[in-house]
Structure 1
Amino acid sequence: MMAYTYILINFFTVIICFLASFDRRIQFNKLFGKFMISSTIVAIPFIIWDIWFTGIGVWWFDLDYTLGFKFAGLPIEEWMFFYCIPFACVFTYYCLEKFFDLDWTGAFNNLIVFTSVIILSVIGLLYYHKIYTLLTVIVTVFVLCYLHFIAKKQWIGKANFVYLVLMPGFFAVNGILTGSVIPSPVVNYDPEEILGIRMITIPVEDAVYGYSQFLLNIYFFKIITKTKDR
């Protein structure tokens, strides 16, 4: 049973959203193909990042929790992770945007971007020697600046609200992966390459890493589906 841990995490992350996609009021199933395209665009650089960090030992996987199949140094479940988690996230965003008026969140766009960029930049300068911290800061600052100042997207506040809604799921999934309710972590981290600040068992960098990935998935999904920014 232990070997099914990671694949079951992926399964339970996506199954409810997948089934709900066929609801006639939602019909997200009609967007499966476009979701796969947009999520692949985002997955490529993050998978390269994952392969690199696994190769140099920034993090590594306990294969006892996996089926044992690896590709490019990553368990097959890790490849699935880059589709299962974004699916649940994009589906949640899609539904909340569809059924609720979240326009009020736009008032926080500037505050979110400027505060985040300043805080992250300071952290990056202070802890530039920790590669996971530094690269996470660089990517997230770039994503926020691009979306706000270049692409001029007005849904950053909305995305942040949805990300907060998704936090219980984030803690459940990443908590299990980092060993909060199982004997040992599925994913292990080199303590020299992270801040050492953990949310229960989850490195704080994971939340920021996930945030940038979430924003990019929303961005490309909107482009591929030609969804108007609201």
Structure 2
Amino acid sequence: MQAAQFTYAALLLGTIAIPLALSFDRKVHFYTHWKYLFPAILVSAAVFLMWDVHFTDAGIWSFNPDYVTGYGYLGLPVEEWLFFLCIPYASLFIYEVMKAYLPRLEMPNLMLALSLFIIAGSAAISYFHRAQLYTFFNFLFLAIYLGYTIFRNRFKAHLTKFYLCFLIGLLPFLIVNGILTGLPVVEYHPEHILGLRIFHIPVEDFGYFFLLLLMNTTIYETLKEGKYY
């Protein structure tokens, strides 16, 4: 096995290493939320993995065997399965850090207006680009789930921290996904994306990251506030 085949795995390890090490920080004490975190990750992962399996099987995207270990299941490399554990874990760690260190930073009405703009923009993109399947489904799902979140009106108190977490998370996202799409580890069929890229990253991936983070965060907060266990 060549060293390059550990590229995807190394990126995931680098993503989760610091958040995992700092999970026992006295102010954040992220480890105390694991009982809500991991069920949220599992539910979200189930949704995204079904999407991932279908799109891989349809040839909408694929994985370069030169940069993965070769182990996998249902057509996905094991690294892709771990992606839906490592990325949400690191992202929700950032989210809890924001809550712990910036408790008074709240702009719910501004964030609500921003959310409505994103819903409208995502719906429009999905409608006008129905032929590009990744573009269509990505922005359609984003518009529907964000719309459900906003109009359900139970997440408004968390919107500011969510958007701040998303903005901060864009930095590691640009690094990790820039490498994944630049080498490339992940390859996209040109007929199913807009073709607009930022640092080699298809613009659709930014919506994908937003939706992944939103789904994990809303489920996580629902479990925490419901105190089901």
Q: Same fold (TM over 0.5)?
A: yes
SS at match of 1:188: strand
Q: In the aligned structure 1, how far is the partner of 2:216 from the partner of 2:185?
A: 25
- Taking the aligned partners of 1:90 and 1:186, their CA distance within structure 2 comes to 25
Residue 32 (structure 1) shift: 2.5
Taking the aligned partners of 1:15 and 1:134, their CA distance within structure 2 comes to: 34
Instruction: Quote how far apart the aligned CAs of 1:52 are.
Output: 0.3
Question: Quick check: 135-144 or 107-116, which moved more?
Answer: 107-116
1:41 maps to 43
**Most deviating of 14-23 and 217-226:** 217-226
Which range moved further: 9-18 or 34-43?
Answer: 34-43
Identity value in percent: 31
Q: Which residue of the partner structure matches residue 209 of structure 2?
A: 210
User: What's the offset of the Cα at 1:217?
Assistant: 0.6
Q: Is residue 160 of structure 1 aligned with residue 159 of structure 2? A: no
Aligned partners of 2:59 and 2:189 also within 8 Å: yes
Distance between the aligned counterparts of 1:125 and 1:31, measured in 2?
A: 39
Q: Residue 178 of structure 1 aligns to a residue in which SS? A: helix
Q: Once the 2 structures are TM-superposed, how far is the Cα of residue 22 of structure 1 from its aligned partner?
A: 1.5
Matching residue's letter, 2:188: Y
Tell me the distance in 2 between the aligned counterparts of 1:171 and 1:226: 32
Contact 1:106-1:158 at 8 Å conserved across structures: no
The aligned counterpart of 2:73 is 71
Query: Which of 173, 176, 201 is the aligned partner of 1:170?
Result: 173
Change in CA separation of 1:68 and 1:201 when aligned onto 2, cut-off 3 Å: same
> Paired residue for 2:54?
52
Q: Is the partner of 1:125 in helix, strand or coil?
A: helix
Cα distance 1:62–1:168, how it changes in 2: closer, same or farther (>3 A)? same
Partner of residue 23, structure 2: 21
| Structure 1 runs of 4+ with >6 Å offset | none
Aligned to 2:13: 11
Give the SS at the match of 1:142.
helix
CA distance, structure 1, for counterparts of residue 67 and residue 177 of structure 2: 14
1:186 maps to what in 2? 185
Residue matched to 1:117: 119
Tell me the SS of whatever aligns to 2:62.
Answer: strand
Native 8 Å contact 2:122 2:139 kept in 1: yes
Q: Is the 8 A contact 1:102 1:158 kept in 2?
A: no
Q: 1-side partners of 2:112 and 2:99: how far apart?
A: 20
- Are the equivalent residues in 1 in contact too, given 2:193–2:202 (CA < 8 A)? yes
| Shift in Å, 1:151 | 4.1
Q: Deviations over 1:12-71 (max 9, x none)?
A: 000000000012222212222431111001110100000000000000001211111010
1:117-156 CA-partner distances (Å, limit 9, x unpaired): 2211221121111100010111101111111102432122
- Structure 1, gaps ≥5 residues long: none
8 Å contact from structure 2 (residues 27, 100) kept in 1:
no
The answer on whether the counterparts of 2:138 and 2:208 sit within 8 Å (CA) in structure 1 is yes
| Aligned residue in 1 for 2:198 | 199
Q: CA deviation at 1:166?
A: 1.2
Report the AA paired with residue 175 of structure 2.
A
Q: CA deviation at 1:224?
A: 2.0
TM superposition shift of 1:159: 1.1
Gaps spanning 5+ residues in structure 2: where? none
Aligned residue identity for 1:88:
A
Paired position in structure 1 for 2:110: 108
Output the amino acid matched with 2:171.
P
> How far apart are residue 111 of structure 1 and its match?
1.4
